[in-house]
Amino acid sequence: MVAETWDGFLNDINGFHITKEHAFEALNTAASGPVPEGNVGGGTGMIAHGFKGGIGTSSRTVTIDGTTYTLGILVQANYGSRDRFSVLGVPVGKEITDVRPSRGGPPEGSGSIIVVAATDAPLLPIQLKRIAKRVALGIGRAGGAGENSSGDIFIAFSTSTGEPGAPASVTKVPMLANDVINPLFHAAVDATEEAIINAMVAAKTMTGIDGNTVYALPHSRLRDILRASNRLQPAKR
């Protein structure tokens, strides 16, 4: 499955610079391990809430009936208006009204976001669809509203469904009962919100085609705003 979000403000999108060799190189060098964040891969030309966006990840562990499961989120953040941007409930976008994209930038609220949710919890497809729907709540916390131009794409999958293609004529597929999966819903919401923030914090100021520039979220100003709202924990000594 291949998904995309539009990066034409920074990227020479009509230049057709990507070749099949690039595609095969990406497939052949794909590996497990920590995921780079910010201006990497498909996140290179992303813009989120008027700041530089990109790739972000986050995860949560939950314990259900004595068994611990992990739910991970990966986002490609390229959406949202500045005035709706929020971090931990603090309206950061209303506090930082400058450092906007040069040369006008794309219209406020335009763009899209891709979110992939992965878990090792045993869930059926209909349950994974419910997980994917909760992703939107995490985006909403950060200030996304699914504006008109958004082509938002959410997908969720589980690595714990066994081998339904096994040669046996009858197979068993494990599943959690619906009554106990609320912790996974909460994890999807929280991790999505955090993955978006991580993408923006990791992203760097970038100048692209025609000198168009998008600025990174200023870390020091973000800390000051959160500190003033008592959202930062004291530094560990």
Helices (H), the chain: 20-29, 92-95, 125-142, 182-202, 219-228
Strands 153-158 and 112-119: parallel
Q: Which of 112, 120, 149, 169 is catalytic?
A: 112
160 is catalytic: no
Alpha carbon distance 102, 213 (integer Å): 5
DSSP states of 14-59: GG----HHHHHHHHHH---SPPP-BSSGGGTT-EETTEE-EEEEEE
Residues in contact with 167: Cβ distance below 8 Å, sequence separation at least 6, in sequence order: none
Q: Give the tokens for residue 193.
A: 């919100």
> Do the beta carbons of residue 5 and residue 113 sit within 8 Å?
yes
Q: Which of 7, 150, 158, 190 is catalytic?
A: 150
112 is catalytic: yes
152 is catalytic: yes
Q: In terms of C-beta density within 10 A (0-12 exposed, 13-18 middle, 19 or more buried), how is residue 61 classed?
A: exposed
Q: Which of 7, 58, 86, 152 is catalytic?
A: 152
Cβ neighbours of 146 (radius 10 Å): 14
Which residues are designated catalytic?
112, 150, 152
